[in-house]
Amino acid sequence: MRRTLPFLLLAGCAPVASGGPVAAPLTEAPQVAATAETDPVDTAHDAADDPAIWRNPADPAKSLVIGTDKKAGIHVYDLAGKRVSFTPAARLNNVDLRETQGRVIAVASDRADVAQAHVSLFTLDTSTRRLVPMGRYPAGPGEAYGMCLWTRAKDKALFGFVVLKDGRIDQVSIDVSGPSPRVTTVRSMKLGTQAEGCVVDDRTGTLYVAEEDVGLWRFAADPAAPATATPIAKVDGKTLVADAEGLALAPKGRTGGYLVVSSQGDNAYTLYRLPAVTYAGRFRIGGGNIDGTSDTDGIELALGDFGPDYPKGLFVAQDGDNAPDTQNFKYASWAKVLAALEL
CATH of the domain at 143: 2.120.10.30
- State the Rg of the chain over Cα: 19
H helix or E strand, kind and range, residue 339: helix 334-340
State the first-to-last Cα distance of the chain, in angstroms, to the nearest integer. 30
Q: Is residue 21 part of a domain?
A: no
Predicted confidence at residue 27, as pLDDT, reads 73
* Phi and psi angles of residue 179, each rounded to the nearest 5 degrees, phi first: -65, -25
Q: Residue 239: phi, psi to the nearest 5?
A: -80, -30
Residue 121: how many other CB atoms lie within 10 Å? 21
Cβ pair 223, 205 in contact under 8 A: no
Cα 320 to chain centroid distance, Å, stands at 14
Which domain, by its residues, includes 186?
29-340
Domain membership flag for residue 4: no
Alpha carbon 164 to chain centroid, angstroms: 15
State pLDDT tens for residues 90-133: 899 999 999 998 999 999 999 999 999 999 999 999 999 999 99
pTM of the model: 0.92
Tell me the per-residue pLDDT of 273-318, one tens digit each, with 9 for 90 and over. 999 999 999 999 999 999 999 999 999 999 999 999 999 999 999 9
Q: For 209, what's the count of Cα atoms within 13 Å in the CB-facing half-sphere?
A: 35
Residue 22: inside a domain? no
How many structural domains compose the chain? 1
Does residue 15 fall inside a structural domain? no
Closest by CA to 99, choosing from 123, 71, 63, is 123
How much of the chain exceeds pLDDT 90, in percent?
Answer: 91
| Backbone φ, ψ for residue 335 (5° rounding) | -60, -40
Cβ distance 284 to 31 under 8 Å?
A: yes
CA atoms of 201 and 149, how far apart (whole Å): 9
Cα–Cα distance for residue pair 260/173, rounded to 1 Å: 26
* 31 CB-contact burial (10 Å; exposed 0-12 / middle 13-18 / buried 19+): middle
Q: Taking Cα atoms as reference points, which of 76, 135, 69 lies closest to residue 107?
A: 135
Residue 193 DSSP code: S
Compare 39 and 21 and report the one with higher pLDDT: 39
16, with CB counted inside 10 A (0-12, 13-18, 19+), is exposed
Higher pLDDT, 166 or 1: 166
Is the separation of the CB atoms in 271 and 341 below 8 Å?
yes
**Residue 257 in domain:** yes
Task: Work out the average pLDDT over 242-260.
Answer: 97
In which band, very low, low, confident or very high, does the pLDDT at 18 lie, cut at 50, 70 and 90? very low
Polymer length in residues for the chain: 343
Residue-wise pLDDT tens digits, 270-285: 999 999 999 999 999 9
Residue 6 lies in a domain: no
**Closest residue by Cα to residue 117 from 138, 94, 89, 93:** 138
pLDDT at 25 over 60: no
